Amino acid sequence: MFTGIVEELGAIQAIDWHEQGARFSIQAALVLEDVKIGDSLSVNGCCLTVVNKQSNHWTCDVVQETLNRTNLKLLKVGDLVNLERAVCYQDRLGGHLVQGHIDETGKILDKHPLSDSSWWVTIHASPAIMRYIIYKGSIAVDGVSLTIADLKESSFSFAMIPHTAQITTLGFKQNGDEVNLEVDLMAKYVERFISPFLNERKSS
């Protein structure tokens, strides 16, 4: 479980593509301080397992299903990625509860600066994502916890503060770039709990 508060920008050191998926080697420092083999790290919002660890980089395996659902399939050597360690129960929850299980990808429709040095970003998303999004609700975009500031039929927008732009990949992504999306877990539970009652009302 994660919070969507990115700790560090890592860099892709090497990628070994194979029929079953890929093995990524990622340069990092901060997130490696107390991480052990078998621990989970969030990479652009995707929960991945540490299979090897050195002083300045770590390795993870990415299965084909994960590549199909995320923007990890687009990564190249040298690309930067958002990194976050799994949350400890005694930590402050600065964002929202993020599983690291990507629902699907979206696309940046518009990104422009505002007068207060923040950025206004609009993301296109499918109906499967938009059904869970509410005004002032939370969503993880490339693993970054963000608050919905505006909603349209097939897109949502958020204001990105300068700090977030400086320490995450969202700062240099451009219009047309693909981003990983994970909706608020609680929204899925609410839908699951009330759907039997809604179905009963429709059939009566």
Q: What pLDDT digit, counting tens, does each position of 161-190 carry?
A: 999 999 999 999 999 999 999 998 887 878
Domain ranges of the chain: 8-85, 104-189
Beta strand 150-151 pairing with 104-113: unpaired
Torsion angle of C-alpha atoms 34, 141, 43, 46, degrees rounded to 10: 100
Closest CA to 6 of 204, 186, 160: 160
Of the CATH numbers 2.40.30.20, 2.60.40.10, 3.40.50.1100, 1.20.1600.10, which one belongs to the domain with range 104-189?
2.40.30.20
Q: What pLDDT digit, counting tens, does each position of 80-115 carry?
A: 999 999 987 666 666 777 889 999 999 999 999 999
| 32, amino acid identity | L
Structure tokens belonging to residue 168: 């995450």
**What are the φ and ψ backbone dihedral angles of 110, each rounded to 5 degrees?**
-155, 140
Identify the pLDDT of residue 186.
Answer: 80
pLDDT for 78 beyond 70: yes
Inter-CA distances, 4 with 74, 89, 105, 192, Å: 21, 15, 16, 24
* Fold: same for 8-85 and 104-189: yes
Tell me how far apart the alpha carbons of residues 179 and 172 are, in angstroms, rounded to a whole number. 12
Tell me how far apart the alpha carbons of residues 97 and 91 are, in angstroms, rounded to a whole number. 12
CB 70 within 8 A of CB 21: no
Q: What pLDDT digit, counting tens, does each position of 104-113 carry?
A: 999 999 999 9
Fold classification of 8-85 is Elongation Factor Tu (Ef-tu); domain 3 (2.40.30)
Q: What pLDDT digit, counting tens, does each position of 1-52 carry?
A: 898 999 999 999 999 999 889 999 999 999 999 999 999 999 999 999 999 9
